Structure 1
Amino acid sequence: MKNSFFREADLLETLGFIMPISAPMQQRVNEQVITQTFNRKKLLLKPGEIARRLYFIRSGFLRAYFIDENGRECTTWFMGKGDLMISVYSFFTQQPAHEYIEVLQDCKLQSLTWNELNAFYADFREGNLLGRVVTQKYYILSEERAIFLRTHTPETRYKILLGRYPEIEQQTTLTNIASYLGISRETLSRLRAKKLKMCHQSQNGENSISHFN
């Protein structure tokens, strides 16, 4: 759920883009949602903890990751302004998480608890519909992620990621990006060098045409 504005995203406003929100539900959201700021490197969730809150990202950049059997960090999600960030399994089942949620850039988050969210489902018709939209969104993202890793070449994965988060190389480390793409840091370096070379050649071509004209 992306917000196209340059200013900070807002939870109520973003939900309103999906469907009209009644005044009583708006009032409930305003009463219950909390807004917090977190610094870079803050861990919002660790394995073994239960995800109690659903986070809406007003500003900043986050990731979810797990550590595999070889001790390597494997990034599963990047989320930025206007996105919702949760440990899907832990939040919806209220069982211990298997992953970390880490703040990559100082952020401002709005959040609701699992109990509050379920009360919205029970008390408001649009709350139930919004819950279905959110669930569908993450189901689709999970399916896209699986297809992303199985069917696309590393170069295509890299292009898709840059298309979604153009500034990601300033927002996190190359190691994190490589782990998300399912490639080595060395492979990512080669892809970046190829991209820079193509950009340089394209700029030189444009300059030559401009000079000729």
Structure 2
Amino acid sequence: MQQRLLDRVTKVVLPKNEFLITEGRVCRHLYFIEQGSVRGFYNLEGKEITHWFGFENDFVTSFHSFITQEPAVENIQLMEGCVLWSISKEALEELLNEYHEAERLIRIAYEKYYIRLEERFVNAQFRTASELYENLLQRSPHIIERVPLGYIASYLGISQETLSRVRSRL
């Protein structure tokens, strides 16, 4: 199976600020990040709303677009230069049909995505700005080190000024 997988994936090396997918286009690939970081964001009334980050060993794609083959409503942009491994939806489906044990890998990727969504919902509904930032510090300190503060504020659903006040109090 390992050789069949290697035959189906493509190594992709892209510079900072490139896009893996832009809204309105169908996402036809699932990516594995070997090195670097990306962010997923929406455009809302002229503002970019960051809703997730991806780092080494994460699978990333516009999941809704990838699964349904409908146009994406989100953008995925590289925050750092990246080394990624790409597999097309068709190649992935062939692999899953041929090797059922590979389904476990995809299930794990989907589970991580679902957990990320649920955490975002809970955080947005029930936490103060200070709690959001403290939670981020505890659970994902690498984000603070690698992600610009503007993206972090957007991710937390607060203004950059509020984030600065919270950071100064800690």
Instruction: Summarize the Cα distance change of 1:155–1:41 in structure 2 as closer, same or farther, 3 Å threshold.
Output: same
Larger relative contact order (Cα-Cα within 8 Å, sequence gap ≥ 6): 2
Alignment of 1:40 onto 2:16: yes
- Corresponding residue number in structure 1 for 2:161: 186
Cα distance in 2 for partners of 1:174, 1:26 equals 40
2:54 aligned partner = 79
The farther-off stretch of 71-80 and 171-180 is 171-180
* TM-superposed deviation, 1:132: 2.6
Which residue does the alignment assign to 1:64? 40
Structure 1: how far apart are the matches of 2:3 and 2:168? 51
Counterpart secondary structure, 1:63 = strand
Structure 1 position 170, deviation (Å): 4.2
* Deviations 1:164-191, CA, capped at 9 Å, x for gaps: 4424344232111100000011000011
Match of 1:129 in 2: 104
Which digits, 9 at most, give the CA deviation of each residue in 1:47-94, with x for residues without a partner? 1111111111111111000111x2111001111111111111001111
Q: Tell me the equivalent position of 2:74.
A: 99
1:27 matches 2:11: no
Which secondary structure state, in structure 2, belongs to the residue aligned with residue 105 of structure 1? coil
> Partners of 2:59 and 2:147 in 1: how far apart?
18
Equivalent position to 1:90, from 46, 62, 65: 65
Q: Aligned pair count?
A: 170
- C-alpha change, 1:42 and 1:126, in structure 2 (3 Å) is same
Amino acid at match of 1:50: V
Which residue of structure 2 aligns with residue 176 of structure 1?
151
Q: Which runs of 4+ in 1 moved over 6 A?
A: none
CA distance in structure 2 between the aligned counterparts of 1:33 and 1:138, rounded to whole angstroms: 21
**Which deviates the most, 126-135 or 171-180?**
126-135
Do the aligned partners of residues 174 and 194 (structure 1) sit closer, same or farther apart at CA in structure 2, a change above 3 Å counting?
same
CA shift for structure 1 position 158: 1.1
Instruction: Report the aligned-residue RMSD.
Output: 1.4
Partner Cα distance (1:152, 1:92) in 2: 31
- Please tell me the residue identity of whatever aligns with 1:65: F
Report SS of the residue matched to 1:89: helix
Question: Quick one: distance in 1 between partners of 2:56 and 2:4?
Answer: 23
TM-score (norm 1): 0.75
Percent identity of equivalent pairs: 38
Q: In the aligned structure 2, how far is the partner of 1:65 from the partner of 1:106?
A: 18
SS of residue paired to 1:66: strand
In 2, Cα distance between equivalents of 1:27 and 1:187:
50
Structure exhibiting the larger radius of gyration computed from Cα positions: 1
